[in-house]
Amino acid sequence: MAEQATDKDSRVPVIDAQGLVKTYKMGDIEVHALCGVSLRIYAGELASIMGPSGSGKTTLMNILGCLDQATSGVYKLDGVDVDRLNDNQLAAIRNKKIGFVFQSFNLLRRTPAIENVEQPLIYAGVGMRQRRERARQALEAVGLGDRLKHHANELSGGQQQRVAIARAIVANPSLILADEPTGNLDSKSGEEIMCLFQRLNEESGITVIFVTHDLRIASHTRRIVRIADGQLTGDSAVDDQILACPEPLDAGMAVAAPAGTAR
């Protein structure tokens, strides 16, 4: 497939959603959160789904993240038809194919960073030794090789989010879904996080989708999908993507992980 990388339509998309409809019932009133959303996202993309609150972007993210299922429409994740899966199968899909990064980090407090990162591997049935090794590698990849044993509550906001990113990538998923990942961070830490995402995308080819209302965040990506009132209103490539990282790309990381202190 590598030689066809430029020809998107001939590849299997990571996300292939056709006519997604999501309807909630609140009492007698039917609320249409999504009214027919079709979207394709391919491996290696760095994209953002942007819309104001109430636009349906959170609903779309929940469906794309297999936390929820559409009322109608077809959603294929990595070629797997997700609509027909039961709860346990959805849990397995989330475990293997999706990494979540949340606005509020959602780390286990009073738990060492490395154990936080290990969590998805526990549910994947990976053995203890291998788990430790992969979690260590993931933490090194996000520049926290010297913070393995630090408890989550002893880390700064930016570091906590990096632990969360390590947790998202540790199971080697097809897709990372980041929901306002810089929303709880100051602008400097936010830049660092965006830099990290860009670097992971560029170096490892990880597919990342941001869900945000913030155009500045979206501008760090290469493609912006706009959503309003439950419908896609725009889908455009970002011509002048903001590169968050000063050259070279990993300079910021080098500060966070001084050589020799990594355990």
Partner 1 sequence: MQAWQWPPRLGRRGDRMYVIEVIRLSLHTLMANKLRAALTMFGISIGVGAVIALLAIGAGVQSYITQQFSSAGTNLVAVVPGQIQRGGGNPFGPQAALSMGDYRAVAGSIPFLVDTAVDFTGVGNFTFESQNSQVSVSGVTPSYESVRNWRVRIGRFIDDMDYGGRSRVVVLGQTVANDLFPGQNPLDAVVKINNVPFRVIGVMETKGASFLGDQDAVAFIPLTTAQERLFQASAQTKGGDRKVSMIYLQVTDDGARPIVVAAVKQLLHERHRIAADDPDDFSVVSQTELINTFGAVTGVLTIFLGAIAAISLLVGGIGIMNIMLVSVTERTREIGLRKAIGATSRAILGQFLAEAMFLSLLGGLVGIGIGVGGAFAVSKVADIQPEVQLSAIALAVGFSLAVGLFFGIYPARRASRLNPIDALRFE
Residue 220 burial (CB count, 10 A):
25
Q: Is 25 in the site for partner 1 (CB under 8 A)?
A: no
Indicate which single residue of 31, 122, 237, 251 sits in contact with partner 1 (rule: CB under 8 A): 122
Q: Is the dihedral of CA 79, 80, 84, 87 positive or negative?
A: negative
Binding map of partner 1 across residues 57-96, x = CB under 8 A, - = no contact: -----x--x-xx----------xx----x-xxx-xxxxxx
d(CA 190, CA 196): 10
Q: Considering the complex, what minimum distance in angstroms separates the CB of residue 84 from partner 1?
A: 9
d(CA 52, CA 193): 22
d(CA 193, CA 210): 12
Residue 86 burial (CB count, 10 A):
7
Indicate which single residue of 2, 10, 125, 129 sits in contact with partner 1 (rule: CB under 8 A): 125
Q: Considering the complex, what minimum distance in angstroms separates the CB of residue 87 from partner 1?
A: 6
Q: How many chain residues touch partner 1 (CB under 8 A)?
A: 34
User: Dmax of the chain from CA atoms?
Assistant: 63
**Residues at the site binding partner 1, with contacts judged by CB under 8 A:** 62, 65, 67-68, 79-80, 85, 87-89, 91-96, 99-100, 102, 104, 106, 108, 110-111, 119-120, 122-125, 127-128, 167, 171
